[in-house]
Structure 1
Amino acid sequence: MNAVVTITGAVNWSKFTLEEWLYQFGAWMNSVSGTCGKSINPIAIAMDQAVIKSKAAKINLTKSEIIANYVASDEDKPKLQRSNITCLISDNEARAVQRLILDMQGKSEVLDEWLDVVIARHFYCNSFAKIADEHHKSLMDVKFDNKAGLAAIYARNLFIKHR
Structure 2
Amino acid sequence: MNAVVKKQIMDWSKRSAHQWLEQYGLWVRSVKFNVTANPLAILIDQNDKSRVRASRVSMVCEINDFEAVQVSKLLASMHNDSREYLASRAWYLILYYENEWSYLSIAIAHKCSKATIRAEIDKGLAYLDGKIDMLQS
TM-score scaled by structure 1?
0.58
Q: Comparing both chains, which one has the higher relative contact order based on Cα–Cα distances under 8 Å and sequence gaps of 6 or more?
A: 1
CA-based RMSD of the aligned residues comes to 2.4
Say which of 100, 106, 110 aligns to 2:80: 106
In structure 2, C-alpha distance between the alignment counterparts of 1:19 and 1:92, rounded to whole Å: 18
Per-residue deviation at 1:85? 2.4
Q: Is the 8 A contact 2:79 2:88 kept in 1?
A: no
Match of 1:140 in 2: 115
Q: Between the two proteins, what is the percent identity of the paired residues? A: 28
Say which of 80, 83, 90 aligns to 2:57: 83
Count of residues paired in the alignment: 107
Match of 2:104 in 1: 129
In structure 1, C-alpha distance between the alignment counterparts of 2:79 and 2:108, rounded to whole Å: 22
Q: Which amino acid in the other structure matches residue 78 of structure 2?
A: M
In structure 2, C-alpha distance between the alignment counterparts of 1:121 and 1:13, rounded to whole Å: 21
Where does the alignment leave 5 or more consecutive residues of structure 1 unmatched? 34-81
1:12-31 deviations in whole A, cap 9, x for unaligned?
A: 22322211110100000111
In structure 1, C-alpha distance between the alignment counterparts of 2:96 and 2:112, rounded to whole Å: 14
Q: Is the 8 A contact 2:89 2:123 kept in 1?
A: yes
TM-score scaled by structure 2?
0.68
In structure 2, C-alpha distance between the alignment counterparts of 1:85 and 1:124, rounded to whole Å: 16
Q: Which amino acid in the other structure matches residue 144 of structure 1?
A: A
Match of 2:41 in 1: none
Q: Larger Rg: 1 or 2? A: 2
